[in-house]
Amino acid sequence: SQQGEEDPQALSIQEGENATMNCSYKTSINNLQWYRQNSGRGLVHLILIRSNEREKHSGRLRVTLDTSKKSSSLLITASRAADTASYFCATDARDESQGNLIFGKGTKLSVKP
Partner 1 sequence: NAGVTQTPKFQVLKTGQSMTLQCAQDMNHEYMSWYRQDPGMGLRLIHYSVGAGITDQGEVPNGYNVSRSTTEDFPLRLLSAAPSQTSVYFCASSSTGDEQFFGPGTRLTVL
Check binding of 109 to partner 1 (CB under 8 A). Answer: no
Check binding of 33 to partner 1 (CB under 8 A). Answer: yes
| Separation in Å, CA 110 to CA 26, 71, 89 | 28, 23, 17
**Cα–Cα distance, 48 to 69 (Å, whole number):** 18
The smaller minimum CB distance to partner 1, of residues 3 and 84, is found at 3
Asked if 107 and 21 count as a contact pair (C-beta separation under 8 A), the reply is yes
Among 7, 26, 93, 103, binds partner 1 (CB under 8 A): 103
Of 18-26, 60-68, 70-78, 103-111, the segment contacting partner 1 by CB under 8 A is 103-111
Q: How far is the CB of 37 from partner 1 (least distance, A)?
A: 8
Check binding of 41 to partner 1 (CB under 8 A). Answer: yes
Check binding of 88 to partner 1 (CB under 8 A). Answer: yes
The CB density around residue 61, as the number of other CB atoms within 10 Å, is 16
Site string for partner 1, 12-31 (x = CB under 8 A): -------------------x
